[in-house]
């Protein structure tokens, strides 16, 4: 991912938001074939292995660590492969359908491996030259032949039918896109295995939809929830942040944001010097806290005593949070751990992930405002974001700098992670469009969200699925890919239309 200055353009100048370093997803590749062919057709095995090498090169271009397990061509080699696959801590496996292969090369693998497997059938020739056709040529292009057999055996083994990529090995943009999508899904699964998500405080009183069992997050997603204390950030602010660091952070913040004059909202003002100073100091303190705790995300809400330093610091995390979220560190206010997970999934999938809820509907133009107060993902902003001083944070304690911008124009995807009476999680997913137009100048993020068939019907259908108050908002249309991630995690999902 390119570095960004918050405007959606490649970074320029001294200050940049850089992606936080993370390890690559581990993707295994094994090919399948039929051992009886090798003696019958000289050169066929080498030609098939060359096909597999091309697939591996395609995967490696998508920022993945590839482990090549060679070719499986009979039942015994399949049994031999199982412990090797299990030992490599893989996030996803591509089974390269090189030619016809009996399902004995796959049955024990699908039975014993719980890592997602994708069957890849990329035919080397777009069509056979029928005037010169031969059995060798047919076998060389027999990539789809075993797909029905492998699917049927998966079902007989008590497993779901694996996902399939069908296309040509060369000059096929759609198969290239699908390989990239699966590599990004692997990146999500890889990140979830080891993520440390910080949690401070508790959800705002009476927002019952946001209460979350941390153990269940570990059980279903793999992440570890690190219970943290507000005073750990406050003490950094009071004791470990120098004036020089604050001055430098102020410059950095101003490089990413505009600071326009107020417009119509009486609680908003032009960014005040003292509000910028507090936001910068808290931003530095927050970065030190994140590094000390080795965190990968944070959900927080903490009131603090009125007019105390704790309240000042904990109500002014917005700017620092937005910068961190944009660098690959999802953070959401109101202590919503489930929404933080949704933001994490979108971030690792490479589509942003901003803290969002529904705002007023425009029944004249048939859209709903989508946004929230608090931290946001600057990497998916339309134009340069705005900082305003707010005399009060509505519904919350404190005052200070607020972040305001629109999501990039074009397709958008939403993900809400809810839980039901039995405590099971559910992905509620939808697609829409962010369309240009004025937004309220309230120091909050808002975007004009258009949804099919119309806003009234869409909202009715969304609500029927029992979502949470908050959701993650990303760019592009990726509902089906996010649903596949839910399937891999064995979590219920629905795409609202």
- Tokens 């430098």 identify what position? 248
Kindly state the tokens that stand for 279.
């936001």
Q: Which of 76, 36, 57 is nearest to 122 (CA)?
A: 57
**Residue 13 confidence (pLDDT):** 61
Give per-residue burial for 327-363: e unless 16+ CB within 10 Å, then b.
Answer: bbbbbbbbbbbbbbbbbbbbbbbbbbbbbbbbbeeee
Q: Which helix (H) or strand (E) holds 349?
A: helix 337-349
CA distance from start to end of the chain: 31
Rounded to whole angstroms, the Cα distance separating 112 from 41 reads 32
Q: What is the pLDDT of residue 6?
A: 38
CB of 8 closer than 8 Å to CB of 73: no
Taking Cα atoms as reference points, which of 60, 347, 194 lies closest to residue 339? 347
pLDDT of residue 9: 41
- Laid out side by side, the sheet with 224-228 consists of 224-228, 196-201, 297-301, 331-332
Closest CA relative to residue 464, chosen from 410, 436, 490, 426: 426
Burial of 46 (0-12, 13-18, 19+ CB in 10 A): exposed
Give the whole-angstrom CA distance, residue 455 versus residue 449.
9
pLDDT tens sequence across 395-406: 888 999 999 989
Q: Dihedral (C-alpha) 434, 440, 446, 451: value to the nearest 10 degrees? A: -40
- Please list the alpha-helical segments (H only) found in 195-266: 214-221, 230-239, 243-256
| Distance separating alpha carbons of residues 10 and 2, to the nearest angstrom | 6
For 228, the enclosing helix (H) or strand (E) is strand 224-228
3-class secondary-structure state, position 130: helix
Q: Which residue, 376, 403, 378, is CA-closest to 389?
A: 403
Q: Check residue 10 and give its pLDDT.
A: 37
The list of the chain residues with pLDDT below 70 reads: 1-13
Give the integer Cα–Cα distance in Å for 94 and 104.
17
State the pLDDT at residue 326.
95
pLDDT of residue 394: 87
């Amino acid at each position: 991912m390119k570095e960004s200055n918050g405007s959606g353009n490649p970074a320029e100048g001294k200050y940049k938001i850089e992606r936080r370093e993370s390890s690559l997803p581990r993707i295994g590749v094994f090919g399948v074939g039929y051992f009886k062919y090798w003696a019958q057709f000289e050169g066929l095995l080498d030609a098939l292995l060359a096909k597999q090498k091309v697939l591996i090169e395609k995967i490696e271009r998508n920022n993945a660590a590839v482990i090549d397990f060679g070719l499986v061509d009979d039942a015994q080699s399949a049994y031999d492969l199982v412990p090797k696959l299990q030992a490599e801590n893989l996030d996803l496996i591509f089974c390269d359908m090189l030619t016809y292969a009996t399902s004995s090369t796959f049955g024990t693998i699908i039975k014993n491996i719980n890592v997602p497997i994708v069957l890849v059938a990329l035919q080397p020739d777009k069509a056979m030259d029928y005037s010169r056709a031969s059995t060798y040529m047919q076998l060389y292009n027999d990539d789809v032949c075993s797909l029905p057999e492998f699917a049927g055996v998966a079902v007989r083994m008590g497993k779901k039918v694996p996902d399939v990529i069908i296309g040509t090995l060369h000059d096929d943009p759609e198969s290239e896109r699908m390989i990239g999508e699966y590599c990004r899904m692997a990146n999500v699964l890889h990140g979830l295995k080891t993520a440390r998500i910080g949690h401070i405080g508790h959800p705002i009183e009476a927002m019952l939809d946001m209460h979350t069992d941390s153990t269940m997050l570990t059980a279903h997603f793999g992440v570890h929830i690190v219970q943290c204390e507000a005073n750990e950030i406050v003490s950094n602010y009071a004791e470990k942040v120098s004036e020089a660091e604050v001055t430098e952070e102020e410059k950095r913040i101003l490089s990413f944001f505009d600071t326009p004059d107020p417009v119509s909202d009486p609680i908003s003002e032009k960014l005040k010097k003292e509000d910028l100073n507090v936001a910068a100091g808290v931003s530095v303190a927050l970065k030190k806290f994140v590094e000390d705790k080795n965190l990968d995300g944070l959900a927080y809400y903490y009131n603090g005593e009125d007019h105390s330093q704790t309240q000042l610091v904990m109500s002014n995390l917005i700017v620092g949070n937005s910068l961190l979220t944009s660098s690959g560190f999802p953070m959401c206010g109101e202590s919503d751990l489930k929404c933080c997970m949704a933001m994490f999934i979108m971030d690792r999938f490479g589509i942003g992930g901003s803290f969002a809820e529904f705002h007023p509907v425009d029944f004249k133009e048939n859209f709903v405002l989508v946004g929230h107060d608090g931290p946001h993902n600057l990497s998916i902003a339309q134009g340069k974001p705005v900082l305003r001083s707010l005399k009060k944070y509505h519904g919350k304690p404190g005052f200070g700098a607020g972040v305001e911008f629109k999501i990039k124009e074009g397709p958008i995807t939403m993900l809400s992670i809810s839980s039901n009476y039995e405590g099971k999680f559910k992905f509620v997913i939808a697609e829409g469009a962010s369309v240009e137009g004025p937004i309220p100048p309230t120091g909050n993020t808002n975007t004009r969200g258009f949804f099919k068939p119309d806003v009234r019907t869409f909202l009715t259908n969304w609500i029927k699925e029992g979502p949470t108050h908050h959701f993650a908002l990303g760019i592009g249309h990726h509902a089906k890919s996010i649903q596949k991630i839910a399937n891999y995690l064995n979590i219920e999902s629905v795409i609202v239309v």
